[in-house]
Structure 1
Amino acid sequence: MTFISFEGIDGSGKSTQARRLAEALRARGHAVTLTREPGGSPGAEDIRRMVLEGEAERWSARTELLLFTAARRDHLEKTIQPALDRGEIVITDRFADSTRMYQGLRGGLEDQVDILHASMIGVEPDLTVLIDIPAETGLGRARARHGGEQRFEDMGLGLQRQMRDGFLRLAAAPRFQIIDGTGDPDAVAQDVLGAVLARLPL
């Protein structure tokens, strides 16, 4: 069973690198499920539209925590665990560490995040790849996308700096691998693949 998550601030390139890793592992003959949070299952995708669009102050961090946990539970039941049970590698673009940051750290809800995660989710990735870039770079990239899912980007540079610092503190845990995301995407993809192959028995 291999479960890999990608984390990072908005605009870090983690979605691109999650996709690139999935492609590289499939090319090596592995069955891979590539998914994302919030989302990854029909019910969770409904919640995604609620929490990522609209005004920045639409939801409090406490309400977001409940919504994200509900989405993650559905995602785990409908997508992640069935794929793991089939013997596939699961790669997810964000998982519980994003909730620890965007709701826990931002809202001062760290204890509540951990309590909900332990009681409702109870799963951590085997490996978490943190794509690290400066907050200014990430915010510039994220805003350049001009998509509809800009609610957290609209909270500004201060939030992105807080989130980057928080992710780097989380990355002291053994399951993390920090990858410098400032380089060429091809070079970053090679770094990711090398790190994954070195850390997991694939």
Structure 2
Amino acid sequence: MARSLRGRRGATRLRAVALIGIDGSGKTTQAHRLAEALTAAGHPATYHRNAGGRRWLGRLAHRLGRPDAQRLVGRDGLLAVESVLRWLAIALALLSCLVTGRTAVMDRYSACQYASIRAHGGQRWERLARAGYRVFPAPRVTILLTVDPAEAYRRIERRGTDHESMGWLTAAATAYRTLPEYADFLVVDANGPPDEVSRRIRAHLAEWLPDDPPSSVVGPPGGTGPPAGGAGRGDPLPAQARP
């Protein structure tokens, strides 16, 4: 039973909203759209991509003749690099929005790192990561986009810029569902078309967005194509996925 924000009339300022989920769930497309929609509605917002560098490391690994980033730097090395780079990205994003007064629309946040660590089986790293990420305030809203790992896999293959295995996507989806923060996430089914997903997100952010989205709001080229669906903390998270 996802908690809708419609009718919640406390603070009118939306300082930060984060979109999280496995690779191929549509985070980047929806975060870009949300930043544009908030700005159009009179709440200046900035998109921030808080990546952990895994894709870059993967490309470097291929150039050096290794199959993936983990084979290049090892599991612990990958988790260490990912944790540090994402921490720095989030810190810069929050500082930027503090200085400018704009809303931070986060494409990934600390929960993505916790899920990545769990999916890799590096539980001891999660304790360290949580200690380091504790300095960051929780976003006013954290939206978990859920998608069937098979659909996420198809989207990733279709965009052709990287590759993820079904095993990893499955482990990541399970990791998000088992995080202690899961009960506080606003869960949105992302298995439908992007426009449908956007409408559902907007419905939950009705305090800051008008009911009718401007037709000019479109996702960035190369976004995670199709799917998106219903919202709700009770919506089942497919037993497959990656952060």
TM-score for both structures, normalised by structure 1: 0.81
Q: Distance in 2 between matches of 1:62 and 1:48?
A: 13
Q: Which residue of 2 aligns with 1:67?
A: 81
Q: Which residue of 2 aligns with 1:112?
A: 125
Q: Which residue of 2 aligns with 1:29?
A: 42
TM-score for both structures, normalised by structure 2: 0.68
Q: Which residue of 2 aligns with 1:125?
A: 139
1:181 corresponds to 2:198: no
Q: Distance in 1 between matches of 2:145 and 2:201?
A: 9
Write out per-residue CA displacement over residues 123-174 of structure 1, whole angstroms, 9 at most, x where no aligned residue.
1323211111111110111111111x43xx1xx1111111112212337634
One of 100, 109, 115 as aligned partner of 1:86: 100
Give me the CA root mean square deviation.
2.5
Give the superposition deviation at 1:80. Answer: 2.1
Q: Secondary structure at the match of 2:48?
A: strand
Write out per-residue CA displacement over residues 16-68 of structure 1, whole angstroms, 9 at most, x where no aligned residue.
111111111011011111011216xxxxxxx5664342332223231122112
Instruction: Say which one has the larger Rg.
Output: 2
Q: Distance in 1 between matches of 2:180 and 2:133?
A: 23
Aligned residues: 188
Q: Secondary structure at the match of 2:46?
A: strand
Q: Is the 8 A contact 2:93 2:104 kept in 1?
A: no
1:99 corresponds to 2:113: yes
One of 119, 141, 145 as aligned partner of 2:159: 145
Q: Distance in 2 between matches of 1:48 and 1:133?
A: 21
Q: Is the 8 A contact 1:100 1:110 kept in 2?
A: no
Q: Distance in 2 between matches of 1:31 and 1:174?
A: 29
Give the superposition deviation at 1:85. Answer: 4.3
Q: Is the 8 A contact 1:126 1:175 kept in 2?
A: no
Runs of 4+ in 1 over 3 A off after TM superposition: 47-50, 171-175
Q: Runs of 5+ in structure 1 lacking a partner?
A: 40-46
Taking a change above 3 Å as real, the CA distance of residues 17 and 171 of structure 1, as seen in their structure-2 partners, is farther
Give the superposition deviation at 1:91. Answer: 1.0
Question: Quick one: which amino acid aligns to residue 93 of structure 1?
Answer: D
Give the superposition deviation at 1:186. Answer: 0.8
Work out the percentage of aligned pairs sharing the same amino acid.
24
Farther off after superposition, 87-96 or 52-61: 52-61
Q: Which residue of 2 aligns with 1:42?
A: none
Q: Distance in 2 between matches of 1:12 and 1:188?
A: 10
Q: Distance in 2 between matches of 1:85 and 1:63?
A: 33
Question: Quick one: which amino acid aligns to residue 106 of structure 1?
Answer: A
Q: Which residue of 2 aligns with 1:43?
A: none
